[in-house]
């Protein structure tokens, strides 16, 4: 049977000769990783459930969210993880190492055709080398640490071919922003995407990493590149494990195929609030900025550093603008030092930090304040993700040029003299919500009051902001549910145990944080009904025995706040008892119902 790349990798790691979309498999893991913000919860799940570590040699901690250890709660969690690691023979890539997904590539821990899971929602960055990587919640990771495998549903595959040759000014970040503008945040939701064409074949590892890292922002399971000779040689020189890269069969079946003209791609900038709201850079040229950021798992590689240095050499960051540069790994930081790039950055007036995730994870430099406008080379600009200001996403070249100019511009249009603008007005902070009661008793048939939140693409930062990620007590989480979602800041105060949330497409996109599920459990919400869910979010909810119900008709289902609803999880029916109307939903799968019935993944 012909198979796609993802199907071959999953078949090879589940002992199957062939698999097809929809199959649910137990996937063996070549690496399983917990970061510093999720690590403490992974340890807690291991200890609370009396679990053991299946293979310590394949189990890792990576402290990349707060590599400075400057936050007290992060420091406590990191110390807890270090102690657990010492007692169980687990390797720790500590605060001096950098971003975990990059480390496991550069250190040869993963390789083409390998499998890995992490508490990092951008673990699918491994698609850059033709490997399978997935971000998962702390319950999933704890189960993987204990069993050496996780259950996974084989996704359908999509094929994208890049025809034509991009212009010399088009960076890999521009390529992926053009793709986001084309496909949006949920057109590829739940798919495994394979990238082909001469343009893709010529891409370097760093360029592939940039594109694969933003699969999550498209809603895709992963973006896979067939490994080139360069990629195979790079991984072979680092890995101690012999490997055979996989390639899709010529007659593999794809759900959809697209051909994009890369020659028509332009330099792009994503406007604040949504990575897929990408527009030509010229359309926002001249917009005043207060800060710039170059780094993250998307644009913290050596090629990105060289691009930034070429623009900054002999120039100064504009007055009143702060430029923050964070290499993705310590190895790259040292290369910047050895090749004189750090000297260029410092002479230009930039702040250079030690390697890590930086502002993307709210644990290091890169955050902005109320009213601040930032142009960032990161992967997300969700409200509140990098602080309380506005974030525009762009390539490292556009960020560096804009930092010099004082406004958004491209390298070709840097003015002779930087612009100066008046300071913005201050923005008042909001009061946090108050904690509420815990979840009511579960049932196969659920009834409750409707809470309508008709929004698409509600991401995990809107659900449970990253500033609360150090919280491990579920009883404290409910008060923060939706407090970063405009118009619903008082959601927790107005929610009662048993309420059912009705929402739109791609609910729970973004991060892998378990708290975005647990905050609703804490409040006593009995279920969430959405047109579709982010892949990681759906897994987290299933594993926590929290009912998430997919209903493609939810957008047309006439429901008002306060209506009484009944959900039959097994039949796949949602009834509005107030209006008398019933619609179909996706029934619970065998795996979902089994986990739900037994009270969570650790009870299996």
* Whether residue 109 is found in the same domain as residue 218: yes
* Whether residue 509 is found in the same domain as residue 371: no
**Is residue 307 within 8 Å of residue 204, measured between CB atoms?**
no
* Whether residue 202 is found in the same domain as residue 307: no
Does a structural domain hold residue 46? yes
CATH of the domain at 385: 3.30.499.10
* Whether residue 174 is found in the same domain as residue 240: yes
* Whether residue 283 is found in the same domain as residue 252: no
Instruction: Please give the biggest Cα pair distance in the chain.
Output: 71
CA distance linking residue 43 with residue 21, whole number of Å: 33
Domain span at residue 79?
Answer: 5-263
Q: Distance between the two ends of the chain, CA-based, in angstroms?
A: 32
Does a structural domain hold residue 332? yes
Does a structural domain hold residue 379? yes
Residue ranges of the chain with pLDDT lower than 50? 427, 429-441
Q: Which of 263, 293, 315 is the last residue of a domain?
A: 263
Q: What is the phi/psi pair of residue 359, to 5°?
A: -60, -25
* Whether residue 210 is found in the same domain as residue 274: no
Split into its structural domains, the chain has a count of 3
Does a structural domain hold residue 430? no
Does a structural domain hold residue 431? no
Closest CA to 262 of 398, 169, 359: 169
What are 254-300's pLDDT values in tens digits?
A: 999 999 999 999 999 999 999 999 999 999 999 999 999 999 999 99
Q: What local confidence, expressed as pLDDT, does residue 54 receive?
A: 97
**Is residue 114 within 8 Å of residue 243, measured between CB atoms?**
yes
Is this structure's pTM higher than 0.85? Answer: yes
What SS3 class is residue 368? strand
CA distance linking residue 101 with residue 64, whole number of Å: 10
**Is residue 456 within 8 Å of residue 505, measured between CB atoms?**
yes
Q: Which of 241, 263, 285 is the last residue of a domain?
A: 263
* Whether residue 407 is found in the same domain as residue 494: no
Q: What local confidence, expressed as pLDDT, does residue 436 receive?
A: 31
Return all residues near 202 (Cβ < 8 A) that are at least 6 apart. Answer: none
CA distance linking residue 344 with residue 327, whole number of Å: 14
CA distance linking residue 296 with residue 279, whole number of Å: 21
DSSP-derived pairing of the beta strands 291-294 and 256-261 = unpaired
Q: Which of 263, 278, 299 is the last residue of a domain?
A: 263
* Whether residue 254 is found in the same domain as residue 274: no
* Whether residue 305 is found in the same domain as residue 349: yes
CA distance linking residue 221 with residue 506, whole number of Å: 13
Q: What local confidence, expressed as pLDDT, does residue 426 receive?
A: 60
Return all residues near 525 (Cβ < 8 A) that are at least 6 apart. Answer: 439, 451, 495, 497, 498, 499, 500, 501
* Whether residue 393 is found in the same domain as residue 464: no
Q: How many CB atoms lie within 10 A of CB 216?
A: 30
Does a structural domain hold residue 460? yes
Q: What local confidence, expressed as pLDDT, does residue 439 receive?
A: 39
Does a structural domain hold residue 435? no
Q: What local confidence, expressed as pLDDT, does residue 363 receive?
A: 58
Does a structural domain hold residue 424? no
What SS3 class is residue 424? coil
What are 400-449's pLDDT values in tens digits?
A: 999 999 999 999 999 998 887 666 566 454 444 333 333 344 679 999 99
* Whether residue 255 is found in the same domain as residue 279: no
């Amino acid at each position: 049977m012909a198979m796609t790349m993802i199907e071959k990798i999953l078949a090879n790691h589940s002992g199957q000769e062939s698999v097809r979309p929809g199959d649910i498999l137990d996937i063996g893991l070549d690496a399983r990783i917990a970061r510093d913000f999720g690590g403490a919860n992974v340890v807690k799940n291991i200890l609370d459930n009396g679990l053991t570590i299946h293979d310590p040699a394949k189990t890792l901690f990576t402290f990349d969210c707060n590599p400075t250890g400057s936050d007290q709660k992060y420091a406590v969690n990191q110390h807890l993880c270090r102690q657990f690691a010492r007692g169980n023979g687990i390797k720790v890539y500590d605060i001096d190492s950098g971003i975990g997904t990059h480390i496991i590539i550069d250190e040869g821990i993963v390789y083409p055709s390998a499998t890995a899971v992490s508490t990092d929602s951008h673990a699918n960055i491994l698609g850059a080398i033709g490997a399978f990587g997935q971000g998962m919640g702390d319950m999933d990771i704890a189960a993987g640490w204990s069993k050496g495998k996780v259950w996974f549903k084989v996704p359908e595959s999509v094929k994208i071919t890049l025809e034509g040759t991009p212009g010399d000014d088009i960076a890999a970040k521009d390529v992926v922003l053009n793709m986001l503008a084309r496909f949006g945040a949920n057109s590829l939701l739940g798919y495994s995407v394979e990238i082909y064409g001469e343009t893709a074949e010529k891409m370097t590892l760093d360029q592939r990493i940039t594109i694969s890292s933003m699969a999550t922002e498209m809603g895709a399971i992963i973006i896979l590149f067939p490994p080139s000779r360069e990629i195979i040689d790079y991984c072979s020189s680092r890995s101690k494990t012999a490997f055979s890269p996989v390639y899709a069969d010529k007659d593999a079946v794809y759900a959809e195929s697209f051909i994009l003209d890369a020659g028509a791609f332009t330099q792009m900038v994503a406007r604040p609030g949504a990575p897929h709201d990408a527009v030509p850079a010229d359309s926002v040229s001249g917009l005043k900025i207060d800060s710039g950021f170059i780094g993250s798992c998307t644009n913290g590689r050596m090629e990105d550093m060289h691009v930034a240095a070429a623009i900054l050499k002999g120039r100064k960051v504009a007055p009143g603008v702060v430029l923050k540069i964070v290499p993705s790994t310590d190895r790259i930081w040292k290369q910047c030092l050895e090749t004189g790039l750090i000297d260029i950055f410092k002479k230009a007036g930039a702040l250079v930090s030690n390697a890590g995730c930086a502002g993307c994870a709210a644990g290091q430099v890169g955050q902005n304040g109320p009213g601040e406008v930032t142009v960032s080379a990161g992967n997300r600009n969700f409200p509140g993700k990098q602080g309380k200001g506005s974030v525009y996403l762009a390539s490292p070249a556009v960020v560096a040029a804009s930092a010099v100019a004082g406004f958004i511009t491209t390298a070709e249009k840097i003015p002779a003299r930087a612009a100066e603008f008046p300071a913005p007005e201050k923005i008042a902070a909001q009061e946090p919500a108050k904690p509420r009661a815990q979840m009511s008793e579960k049932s196969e048939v659920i009834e409750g009051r409707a809470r309508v939140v008709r929004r698409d693409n509600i991401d995990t930062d809107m659900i449970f902001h990253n500033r609360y990620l150090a919280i491990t007590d579920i009883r404290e989480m409910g008060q923060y549910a939706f407090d970063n979602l405009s118009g619903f800041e008082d959601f927790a105060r107005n929610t009662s145990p048993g309420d059912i949330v009705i929402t739109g497409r791609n609910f729970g996109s973004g991060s892998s944080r378990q708290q975005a599920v647990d905050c609703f459990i804490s409040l006593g919400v009995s279920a969430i009904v959405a047109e579709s869910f982010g892949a990681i979010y759906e897994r987290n909810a299933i594993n926590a025995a929290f009912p998430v119900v997919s209903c493609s008709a939810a957008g047309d289902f006439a429901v008002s706040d306060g209506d009484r609803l009944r959900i039959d999880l097994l039949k796949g029916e949602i009834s509005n008892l107030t209006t008398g109307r019933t619609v179909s939903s996706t029934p619970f799968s065998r795996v979902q119902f089994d986990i739900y019935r037994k009270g969570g993944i650790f009870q299996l």
